[in-house]
Amino acid sequence: MSSLVTVTVDGDDELLLAHNMIDVRGVSAAGVARDNVRSAALAGQRPQARHWLRVLGMIQQIQAEKLATHQ
């Protein structure tokens, strides 16, 4: 099942998306975003791939910060 979503958003919306994905998917949020990067890139959708790459980076940063504060 593909979870690729084609959207155009700004940085604030991407950050909200990253938080929402973590809330819904938990630790698998980064994997979903990574799959979306790959799918968009393979489909030749460069802007969408960049969007998902930014979201992936935000997810990883948020999760790393949460991990650091819980140790």
Domain ranges of the chain: 11-69
Give the Cα separation of 10 and 21 in Å (integer). 16
Give the Cα separation of 35 and 68 in Å (integer). 25
pLDDT at 4: 52
pLDDT at 1: 43
**What is the DSSP code (8-state) at residue 43?**
T
Q: For each of the chain's 71 residues, which pLDDT tens digit applies?
A: 445 555 555 789 999 999 999 999 999 999 999 999 999 999 999 999 999 999 999 999 999 999 999 87
pLDDT at 71: 72
pTM recorded for the entire structure: 0.83
> Nearest-CA neighbor of 5 among 34, 35, 36?
36
